[in-house]
Amino acid sequence: MTSKEKNTYLVGIFDDEDVLIPAVKKIRAKGVNIHEVYTPYPVHDLDVYLGYRRSRLSKAAFLFGATGTFLAILMQTYMLGFAWPMVIGGKDYVTYPDFVPVTFELTVLLAALGMVATFLISNNLGPGKQATMFDPRSTDDKFVMAIDLGANSKFTKEELESILTEYGVSEKPKEKEV
């Protein structure tokens, strides 16, 4: 996110996964746009209830891997076929079975590095990045739901507060600018 403009969020704190999940379902059913939910541990199927699209990271991984396969074959064919031909084990210069281990390793390496890089870039993460913390207790034992007030202009702040309270937040929702 490049814009320096700050958004105002309404932050609801939940104590329990079993309160959180019905709340997510019902709040979304009311038409409220939930910005994000932060949990101390991965909650099964929360992404489904939040309506997230499937991550495209695996597709990126496949493409990075395929690039690795292609580059590895290209590299070895060039090295052993053209740059420095060598007879190994009485075989031809370019023998593809010999290339399999290196091809495999480069496929894995490129897939792994590419995936990490894609993940960091697409999530706006990286060394020195200051994490957005709606409530630090989300790393301890609380479930934190952030609702972007700007993205929910059809509701007033008070309406959203009462919705959150109705579905079981454990303390009064507070506002936070990020």
Partner 1 sequence: MAAGHKISIADEKMQYEFTSSLKKKLMIAFGVGVALLILGMIFSAMGGGAEHGAAEHAAAAAEGHHGPEYHWTKRLWANLWLCCVYFTGISLAGVFFVSVNYVAWAGWSALIKRIPEAFGNFLPITGVLMFILFFVAGHDLFHWTHEGITDPNSEHFDRIIAGKAAYLNTPFFLARMVFYFAAWIGLFLFFRRLSAQEDAISDYNGYLKDPSVYNKRVYFSAVFLIVFAVTSSTSAWDWVMSIDTHWFSTMFGWYNFASWFVASLAVVTLTVIYLKEAGYLKAVNQHHLHDLGKFMFAFSIFWTYIWFSQFLLIYYAHIPEETYYFEPRLFGHYRGVFFLNIIINFAFPFLALMTKESKRTTILIKIAAFAILIGHYLDFYMMIMPGTVGDNAGFGLLEFGTLAMFVSAFIYTIANGLTKLPLIPKNDPFIKESLHFTQL
Binding site for partner 1 (CB under 8 A): 21, 44-45, 47, 58, 62, 88-91, 97-98, 100-101
Pick 17 or 148: Cβ nearer partner 1: 17
Least Å distance between CB 83 and partner 1? Answer: 21
Cα separation of 170 and 113, whole Å? 41
- Identify the residue whose tokens are 């105002």: 8
Pick 56 or 172: Cβ nearer partner 1: 56
Least Å distance between CB 173 and partner 1? Answer: 25
Least Å distance between CB 90 and partner 1? Answer: 6
Pick 45 or 158: Cβ nearer partner 1: 45
Mark residue 88 as left, alpha or beta (left: phi above 0; alpha: psi -120 to 50; beta: remaining): beta
What's the alpha-carbon Rg for the chain, to the nearest Å? 25
Cα separation of 9 and 150, whole Å? 8
